[in-house]
Amino acid sequence: MKISCVQMNMEFCAPDKNFRHAKNLIKSAAEDNPDVIILPEMWNTGFFSKEKLRELSDVDGERTKTEIGLLAKSLGINVVAGSVANVKGDKVYNTAYVFDRTGNTVCEYDKTHLFSPMGEDKFFAKGKGFSTFSLDGVKCGVIICYDLRFPELARSLAVQGLDVLFVVAQWPDVRIPHLVTLAKARAIENQMFVAVCNSCGSTDNTKYGGNSVIFDSWGNELSSANGSEEIITAECDTDILSDKNKSINVFCDRRTDIYNLF
């Protein structure tokens, strides 16, 4: 599976401009013929407008499905469309959408861990679950930014036989070492590929740090970005996962009989 991360610099509170920019970047990434293209977190609005959140948000993912889903179909490429501010009913969610090569929505995931230090929990509703999905026969999962700090979530996905975990983020520049370290740990402990697509630039008063990265299941860095807008790509040979699981089978040796998680 060839994966491209689009490390995008979006404009705060400007969804029209951001949709145009995201589509242009996806088309640029497609020139390298990847199997999957990934966008970062909340690329439609930036993270996040407290005053005009509902006004700027997508509604039931309609615009994302129409514009990004159709683009995935026209290019014939799977797209992990980052996440968008998204109104569903009377609540706003931070929602990730994934489209297959035919433009069908194969995953819709609402962020479960909301970043309380920036008040995300006061403006967004919490997601209530997670799901796996297949892209070209490869079992995948997606989490959003702060979710990465909760190993329970990644492990819950991993025990379902995950091969690739996509992490879409708007991770601040000052904590980039945490992003890279946590992503590497999730790859090693769960024996899966981890592809992180972070944003860059600034929204409101926060600078975002880029440094998108793709790790293999041994924690080896396959590709990484710097702090500015760019596209990174890596070949992820998921065939190595069967050999890895044979040599160090942590899933066979887990002690679920003594774990006490609350």
Domain definitions of the chain by residue range: 2-253
pLDDT of residue 204: 75
Element (H, E) at 106: strand 105-110
The strand pair at 105-110 and 230-235 is best described as: unpaired
CATH of 2-253, one of 3.60.110.10, 3.40.640.10, 2.60.320.10, 3.40.50.360: 3.60.110.10
How many Å apart are CA 61 and CA 64, to the nearest integer?
5
How many Å apart are CA 65 and CA 127, to the nearest integer?
19
Res. 79: pLDDT tops 90: yes
How many Å apart are CA 3 and CA 231, to the nearest integer?
10
- Locate 80 and state its tokens: 């992990």
pLDDT of residue 242: 74
Q: How many CB atoms lie within 10 A of CB 262?
A: 2
19 within 8 A of 44, measured Cβ to Cβ? yes
Looking at per-residue pLDDT, the higher value among 250 and 88 belongs to 88
pLDDT of residue 244: 59
Contacts of 38 (CB under 8 A, 6+ apart): 3, 4, 5, 6, 79, 80, 82, 166, 168, 195, 197
Residue 245 — pLDDT band, cuts 50, 70, 90? low
pLDDT of residue 205: 83
Res. 246: pLDDT tops 80: no
Q: What are phi and psi of 214, to 5 degrees?
A: -125, 125
Q: Calculate the dihedral angle through the C-alpha atoms of 165, 200, 97, 15, rounding to the nearest 10 degrees.
A: 180
Residue 88 — pLDDT band, cuts 50, 70, 90? very high
Residue 260 — pLDDT band, cuts 50, 70, 90? confident
- Locate 31 and state its tokens: 């020139």
Residue 159: alpha-carbon gap to chain centroid: 19
pLDDT digits (tens, 9 = 90+) for 130-171: 989 999 999 999 999 999 999 999 999 999 999 999 999 999
Residue 99 preceded by cis peptide, ω within 30: no
Q: Which amino acids are annotated catalytic?
A: 41, 111, 145
Question: How much is the average pLDDT of 110-114?
Answer: 98
pLDDT digits (tens, 9 = 90+) for 184-237: 999 999 999 999 999 999 987 899 999 999 999 999 999 999 999 999 999 999
- Locate 53 and state its tokens: 């959140």
How many Å apart are CA 143 and CA 262, to the nearest integer?
20
How many Å apart are CA 135 and CA 116, to the nearest integer?
33
What strands, in cross-sheet order, belong to the sheet with 193-198?
Answer: 133-135, 138-144, 164-169, 193-198, 213-215, 221-224
**In whole numbers, what is the pLDDT of the chain averaged over residues?**
95
- Locate 57 and state its tokens: 């948000």
- Locate 42 and state its tokens: 């909340």
pTM exceeds cut of 0.85: yes
Question: How much is the average pLDDT of 255-259?
Answer: 91
pLDDT of residue 62: 98
pLDDT > 90: percent of the chain: 90
Element (H, E) at 18: helix 15-30
pLDDT of residue 262: 62
Question: How much is the average pLDDT of 47-53?
Answer: 92
176-190 vs 151-158: helix axis angle to the nearest 10?
A: 30
Residue 247 — pLDDT band, cuts 50, 70, 90? confident
